[in-house]
Amino acid sequence: MQLATVDFYRPDSSESALVNADTILHDALLGVPPGRDECIRLLSLPEDSYEADRLRETARIVSHQRFKSQGVLKAQIGIDTSHCAGACKFCGFGDGVSDIEVRLMPIDEIVERAISSAGSGELYMLLLMTMHDFRFPRLLKAVEAVRAVIPGCTQLAVNIGDIGAVQARELADAGVGGAYHVRRLREGIDTALSPAARVETIQAFLDAGIQWYTCCEPIGPEHSPEELAEEIFLGITHGCSLHATMHRIAVPGTPMASRGQISEIRLAQITAVVALATIALPGLAGISVHEPNLPSLMAGANAITAESGANPRDTIRNTEDGRGRSIEHCKALLREAGYLELLRADGSSLPL
* Model confidence pLDDT, tens digit, residues 242-257: 999 999 988 888 888 8
pLDDT digits (tens, 9 = 90+) for 300-327: 999 999 987 766 665 666 655 456 578 9
Query: From residue 164, how far is each of 21, 91, 161, 177, 224 by CA, in Å?
Result: 42, 24, 10, 16, 32
- The answer to whether 308 touches 320, Cβ cutoff 8 Å, is yes
Longest CA span, the chain: 60
Q: How many CB atoms are closer than 10 A to CB 126?
A: 24
- Residue 294's identity, in one-letter code, is L
Q: How, if at all, do strands 211-213 and 216-219 pair?
A: unpaired
What is the SS3 assignment for 344?
Answer: coil
Count Cβ atoms within 10 A of the Cβ of residue 45 and give its class: 0-12 exposed, 13-18 middle, 19 or more buried: buried
What is the SS3 assignment for 69?
Answer: coil
The whole-angstrom separation of Cα 82 and Cα 84 is: 6
Select from 349, 345, 317 the least CA-distant residue to 157: 345
The whole-angstrom separation of Cα 320 and Cα 94 is: 21
The predicted structure's pLDDT at residue 3: 38
Q: How, if at all, do strands 80-81 and 103-104 pair?
A: antiparallel
Kindly report the pTM of this predicted structure.
0.93
pLDDT digits (tens, 9 = 90+) for 199-227: 999 999 999 999 999 999 999 999 999 99
Q: What average pLDDT does the chain have? A: 91
The whole-angstrom separation of Cα 272 and Cα 299 is: 5
End-to-end CA gap in the chain: 47
Q: Which domains does the chain have, with CATH numbers?
A: 15-351 (3.20.20.70)
